[in-house]
Amino acid sequence: MPITTTTHLNFRGTARTALEFYQSVFGGHLTTITYSDFGLPKHLPDADNLVFGQVTADNGFSIMAYDVPSHAPAATTPTTTTTRDNGTTLTNQECFVSVRGDTTEEVSALWTKLADGADLIEQYGPSPWTPGFGMLTDRFGVTWILDVAVPHAG
């Protein structure tokens, strides 16, 4: 039985904008359903926010997102980054979205688009384990790792 996992991101009023941006980077089909589509009266807060959103592309990319209701408590851990003496950068985010491609050209093109308005944690380029690796936090506060898949002996 095949199993598929899809990253599900939580936003506060920016899920639609984020998913539209991710669609512009990765391509695919955008699906959005608002709280009002599920029956919340249009005059109430959150009515136009997303209760469900997803981008799915033929290349296998898939991501989901929604807007946390405005009355729900906010996360309390701010994102911080630290640079070690050896030049590597760390971030305290609880999870990252990882995107892996087959070629440096393919991943580099995605990196260029995703990096628009982002904070670069580690610039895309060769690393000891792959010909292409980079890490950034996009304009929506989501941290991404992009790298090139390499075969492993073993």
85 and 140 in a common domain: yes
4, two tokens: 């598929």
Torsion on CA atoms 103, 108, 114, 115, rounded to nearest 10? 150
103 and 47 in a common domain: no
Residue partners of 68: CB distance under 8 A and separation at least 6: 10, 11, 12
CATH number at 126 reads 3.30.720.110
Domain that holds residue 58: 7-67
Asked, for residue 37, whether it belongs to a domain, the answer is yes
Asked, for residue 73, whether it belongs to a domain, the answer is no
Instruction: Return the sign of the alpha-carbon dihedral for residues 135, 89, 124, 13.
Output: positive
Asked, for residue 124, whether it belongs to a domain, the answer is yes
Asked, for residue 2, whether it belongs to a domain, the answer is no
CATH number at 37 reads 3.10.180.10
Asked, for residue 153, whether it belongs to a domain, the answer is no
Q: How far apart are CA 76 and CA 63, in angstroms?
A: 24
The residues with which 29 forms a beta bridge, in sequence order, are 56
pLDDT tens digits in sequence order for the chain, 154 residues long: 777 889 999 999 999 999 999 999 999 999 999 999 989 888 888 899 999 999 999 999 999 999 998 876 765 555 555 555 545 455 566 688 999 999 999 999 999 999 999 999 999 999 999 999 999 999 999 999 999 998 876 6
